[in-house]
Amino acid sequence: MRILFFSHYYTPEVNAPASRTSEHCKTWVKMGHDVTVVTCAPNHPTGKVYPGYKNSLWRVETIDGVRVIRLWTVLAANAGFLMRILNYVSYLCATIVAIPFLPRADVIVSTSPQFFCGLAGFFARPFKRAPWALEIRDIWPESIVTVGAMKKGRAIRFLEWVETSAYRQADAIISVTKSFVPHIAERCNDPDKISIVRNGADLKVFQRSASGADVKKNIGLADRFVAAYVGTHGMAHGLGVILDAAEILRNDTRIAFLMVGDGAERARLEADRAARGLDNVLILGQRPKSDMPAIWAATDASLILLKRSDMFKKVLPSKMTEAMAMQCPIVLGVEGEASELLAEADAGIAITPESTDELARAVLRLADDPELAAAFGARGRTFVNEQFDREKLAASYIDILQAMIDRARGGAKRA
């Protein structure tokens, strides 16, 4: 099978869409498929191109057997609105120009958000004469309004019209959560074309083999119980609650809070930490993906947080499966499907989103009861082994794509 995949983000970027796409594509290549990813120069979240790369018109490289084509875009940090929109639109424009020069394909996949990346598949389909699968990792434009980046108005209504049109035009829709399905089904012309492939973890990479004690010593947190947030420091996450909880627990010298990642809120969080003199909080910034198993090894409790919103009840953070794979007990500040999954796995403690007191109590409970923490971690690993192995999920994804191809070829024969 020849797969043409449009993704705004790709390895060596370390955010959730880059990880999901790169791990699926790497697995597909191992299965014998030919995979081409169309993306841009790695620059998330700072808007600065990574060392060894340039923002070129066209660059081709091979990563883990995947052909990666990088196109020029307007670069922008993961902050602000106008420049990010220009970044997104420029990617779509670049892909439209590049489509005639891209390899032949049996199937096309585009992932959204960002929204305009999802539309790339719509424009590629007639040129490549291949069926198009639209992957939905978040509901746009609803999530834009939820985080306060835009207000309801003509622009949002236009984007909602584009959203509905994309659902109806796609040959298949692949949702990363069950909770997205009613929203999509209400707007698309054929609910039967919706499938679910949830986020998983690469169980060969995410193993608790590194010495957590050594890693803690290297980052200055030796002998501490480390409650860590690993991921984007964005508008949606409400990470100020970590600093508030750290202030409550500042006199408990056993406990430290670790924040790893970057994003629109990082500078504000660093300034707030300094102003409060919170010596029990360490903010490391972004680290390469190769460092993640070591970071997880140093983590005694994984903090997975979002702001309290009905929209986020539909979200299933990818960090959940990675934390479970690393046998880290979870403190989850996300309602809805994520909370239900945590309860099913019995792998941690659910709290009310943005609740400082509940976050502090949950961390303290795990620090006080290492046997409970270890039990949560062990159950999480077992749960992921059974249901969220990335290789098994990638194989299920391939079955969906093959069925699309078979339907398209069957229709062509009948015509």
The answer to whether the CB of 39 falls within 8 A of the CB of 12 is: no
- The CATH class for the domain spanning 2-200+389-414 reads alpha beta
Q: Where are the domains of the chain?
A: 2-200+389-414, 212-387
What are the respective helix, strand and coil percentages of the chain, to the nearest 5? Answer: 45, 20, 35
Q: Provide the pLDDT for residue 414.
A: 42
pLDDT digits (tens, 9 = 90+) for 116-162: 888 999 999 999 999 999 999 877 655 554 555 556 667 667 777 78
Q: Provide the pLDDT for residue 196.
A: 95
Same fold, 2-200+389-414 and 212-387: yes
The answer to whether the CB of 324 falls within 8 A of the CB of 353 is: no
Q: Provide the pLDDT for residue 415.
A: 42
pLDDT digits (tens, 9 = 90+) for 171-185: 999 999 888 898 889
Locate 198 and state its tokens: 């949830």
Beta sheet of 330-333, edge-to-edge order = 281-285, 255-260, 225-230, 301-305, 330-333, 348-350
CA distances from 359 to 154, 234, 244, 332, 351 (A): 39, 19, 9, 9, 7
pLDDT digits (tens, 9 = 90+) for 32-85: 999 999 999 999 888 899 999 999 999 999 999 999 999 999 998 866 667 878
Return the closest-CA partner of residue 41 out of 10, 17, 20, 62: 10
Question: 61: buried, middle or exposed (CB in 10 Å: 19+, 13-18, 0-12)?
Answer: exposed
Q: Provide the pLDDT for residue 311.
A: 76
The answer to whether the CB of 365 falls within 8 A of the CB of 349 is: yes
Whether the predicted pLDDT of 15 surpasses 60: yes
Averaged pLDDT score across all residues of the chain: 90
The CATH H-level superfamily of 212-387 is Glycogen Phosphorylase B; (3.40.50.2000)
Instruction: Give the integer Cα–Cα distance in Å for 336 and 311.
Output: 9
